[in-house]
Structure 1
């Protein structure tokens, strides 16, 4: 379906693609893998007509091509669904799918009945039901993705590219997405799938191509790889080096966070937990189990109806994030773009945001002090950014996460809550973030970590609580951690004996 030979693409000071070869067949799901900066995005933009290669050849449907624009590539049957969906939230599902080419009546007016009928047909091909008249801004992210895919089908798509499609969905939504992608594959559509979640690759892909530093590393059938060989090819070091060593068990440290009989309806019904100084406590469970809501209730960004939260023996008042920060609680949200980063502000302002009083004198912010802190933390956290006055929006997911980590470390926290700390982050950056988290714990910070990636929970946490339907179902010590043990508790009918119900 698509073949790229000897593709080179350079930008000022950077050679993004260096003699890259790539091919994907009709009726297959082809995974394109690599760390951030490996050249994946540049290759996709060359393939889709957004970039013109400096050299090399593109062959699509057996015909040599030189795309003049992304529109020309789209008209040929190539459609890219980026991680940031390109939809109009105030328009309906049907209007989004047919924007720019709506069916017309013989009088030249938009034929809304035909548009709704064709929208229903496109969604039916995906096995998905949506009201064509529904406002897109009111839909879930999973439903919005289906609208994007239906839009592609409406263009007679031959090649569909998905960039990190599961970064903002999980659980049943991921299962549904995979079923629909397999259905498209079986219809002969060529699908290129980009993801940092390696378990998805083995569940979905037929073949794999790996890039590193703008060059081909390895390609082949998914059956030729295992998790260890994938990681080694992508980052150049073994899987065993991904997680920092867990320190030996020490005598019980002081309790930093104590949560008793916490209730934050509708998701959190009853939760007890403790986190000690220097401990990384994992919070696992299926989507909808209440993990994130527990974090918000502790931090005060969600009201709690019942229960107590104490930090170092002192009560933390409900619904008061500012007071939580003042007392020494940091919270890195799972939604770094929607709730974490200050997109229009530079790096230094993102780092100092929680504690501006520290950088204020006589009512005025002292920018040199903010910049000095940012300069120090850029080096400390190994953040790849031109400088403290640079913007944050264009940075890789890993570097954005490091900025948020440095933000909360600046308040010298007693407790750091991390919700999906490596979401949308490549394998190499994950290893760096894991190192930072373990280093923070070694300094005595209590860490409460939520993650949907079980290998991450197992590799990093000292102890794990497993939740289901707003309750803690059981606890697992480091030596008993396994995916099977976690899933057994996550799907149990009743809490394990001795645990909170």
Structure 2
């Protein structure tokens, strides 16, 4: 890489204030052409604000920004795009009613004369996905494809135009292990072509695998920038959260005191998946479900919660058969679901913490058809205290909270329904490392208090830290059941090493399950 090249991104003294709130203060940041640069920090550290300034969505209050040696003089998305900045958003920018190909070229349609050339768009989209090494149908409507394919579409959309700087914001939260590998290969291709990749993720294992350098923000200020070789996991986490932490190794996983069977599901069949699942949950235990993308984890959760139709099988709660045709039936049976996509399905961002917690509890908060404000506020204050939600108060909008605290609001609103069974789908996705261990500790505490908990996650270390039993799903079926303790290696070595070894073993089981499902040899 020639040192004569200007920096792909050069920020000097960048500050951003929203009224009296300081989001950024005097940040200097350099990103080189042809490098993968990790941008790290807790939720609320200032990462999103930096990215919005870089993307031209917001102007800085002070400071300068240069892209490839050219100063950004107007801060609009169009100015940023012309300078070569492209971004794959964490909160996806896709239109559900359009096809994959239409989304990839939205506002940049390929034309034949004055008319849009749909056939050319489909072929070009197919070529772009092939370059990444993944198969996504360009003709499928975005609303009908899995979350992982939506994420890949978002990335292909961002790279469908020439760019000098590509921002990937939590790009792997919905991807399977194989798809992550394909994405990493693609990122390396872009890097070799001289593209500067800004990589934002809370998954530390990914950062150490893909990044060349890292910059850490904390409380709106730049903390450190350096080559990945200069950091250890412990030192990087210390820079991020301002204290020493061992991530998921911080979670104290006591032996569960298992009680009565709460949930029995036999032969569950959904519209597409699950495809004949038997499941038992007992009071006081955390059961995890692992599986590669398309395994049917989320489909199972949606069927149990009445969000998706049950086509066959039986559900029994506390020994009694229950009929679940809609979410209200599940709530009445004592089942609550914390959904995978919290920003779209879990909360109303512009509503207050209080109103979000009240939503599924209106019947017991109402008197004569009107919500009793004192009851609603009391429930919110109790939930804030119980889950230690960091907020300015129950009237604060959820959009003002960090990712971890917003997730606590979603958990709080469903806990307020007093469920016996709590299902959590990707409970720590997009949450910083300190909050991840806090959420998992909360899950362990809820189980200790007598809840039966089902955790679905693509993050294997999360399952290993949270769960007493782990079920491996593949092709809509349970392929294997594993006692968590059976994954622990013998004595010796650090807790982090033990967690890493257990993760490798669990990943091997998932790959075997997919292979067995494809060849028809599943047990």
Q: Tell me what 1:48 maps to.
A: 55
Alpha carbons 2:284, 2:447 under 8 Å: kept: yes
> Is 2:395 the partner of 1:389?
yes
Q: Tell me what 2:13 maps to.
A: 6
- Distance 1:362-1:145 versus aligned 2 partners, 3 A rule: closer
- Distance 1:385-1:270 versus aligned 2 partners, 3 A rule: same
- Distance 1:152-1:430 versus aligned 2 partners, 3 A rule: closer
SS at match of 1:52: coil
Query: Deviation at 1:34?
Result: 0.7
Q: Tell me what 1:37 maps to.
A: 44
- Distance 1:366-1:304 versus aligned 2 partners, 3 A rule: same
Cα deviation code 1:61-83 (max 9, x no counterpart): 23454444332232111223322
Alpha carbons 1:102, 1:110 under 8 Å: kept: no
From 321, 346, 369, the counterpart of 1:363: 369
Q: CA RMSD in A?
A: 3.2
From 390, 415, 422, the counterpart of 2:421: 415
> Is 2:235 the partner of 1:229?
yes
- Distance 1:110-1:96 versus aligned 2 partners, 3 A rule: farther
Distance (whole Å) between structure 2 residues aligned to residue 310 and residue 94 of structure 1: 43
Query: Deviation at 1:283?
Result: 1.6
Cα deviation code 1:19-69 (max 9, x no counterpart): 322111111111111111111112222333333334434333234544443
Q: Tell me what 2:482 maps to.
A: 475
> Is 2:83 the partner of 1:76?
yes
From 225, 240, 244, the counterpart of 1:238: 244
Cα deviation code 1:377-429 (max 9, x no counterpart): 12332323333334334543222211111111112221111111111212222
Structure 1 unaligned regions, length at least 5: none
Deviates more, 1:350-359 or 1:93-102: 93-102
Alpha carbons 1:17, 1:214 under 8 Å: kept: yes
Distance (whole Å) between structure 1 residues aligned to residue 280 and residue 138 of structure 2: 48
Alpha carbons 1:97, 1:119 under 8 Å: kept: no
Deviates more, 1:406-415 or 1:424-433: 424-433
> Is 2:508 the partner of 1:488?
yes
Q: How many residues align?
A: 492
- Distance 1:93-1:323 versus aligned 2 partners, 3 A rule: closer
Q: Tell me what 2:279 maps to.
A: 273
Cα deviation code 1:130-186 (max 9, x no counterpart): 787776666665555566555555653111112222334444443433333222222
SS at match of 1:492: helix
Structure 2 unaligned regions, length at least 5: 1-7, 489-501
> Is 2:151 the partner of 1:164?
no
- Distance 1:272-1:229 versus aligned 2 partners, 3 A rule: farther
> Is 2:308 the partner of 1:302?
yes
> Is 2:114 the partner of 1:110?
yes
Distance (whole Å) between structure 1 residues aligned to residue 418 and residue 464 of structure 2: 27
From 191, 198, 201, the counterpart of 1:192: 198
Query: Deviation at 1:320?
Result: 4.3
Alpha carbons 1:103, 1:110 under 8 Å: kept: no
- Distance 1:191-1:319 versus aligned 2 partners, 3 A rule: same
From 109, 118, 127, the counterpart of 1:124: 127
Distance (whole Å) between structure 1 residues aligned to residue 302 and residue 294 of structure 2: 14
**Normalising to structure 1: TM-score of the pair?**
0.86
- Distance 1:404-1:25 versus aligned 2 partners, 3 A rule: same
- Distance 1:241-1:194 versus aligned 2 partners, 3 A rule: closer
Alpha carbons 1:299, 1:331 under 8 Å: kept: yes
**Normalising to structure 2: TM-score of the pair?**
0.83
SS at match of 2:450: coil
Within 5 Å, give how 1:78-477 maps onto structure 2: 78-88=85-95, 110=114, 112-113=116-117, 117=120, 120=123, 124=127, 127=131, 152-153=158-159, 155-240=161-246, 242=248, 243-248=250-255, 250=257, 252-264=258-270, 266-343=272-349, 345-469=351-475, 470-477=477-484
Alpha carbons 1:75, 1:155 under 8 Å: kept: no
Distance (whole Å) between structure 2 residues aligned to residue 249 and residue 439 of structure 1: 10
Query: Deviation at 1:457?
Result: 0.9
Distance (whole Å) between structure 2 residues aligned to residue 91 and residue 299 of structure 1: 28
Distance (whole Å) between structure 1 residues aligned to residue 239 and residue 114 of structure 2: 52
Query: Deviation at 1:332?
Result: 0.9
- Distance 1:471-1:207 versus aligned 2 partners, 3 A rule: same
- Distance 1:144-1:446 versus aligned 2 partners, 3 A rule: closer
Alpha carbons 2:126, 2:138 under 8 Å: kept: no
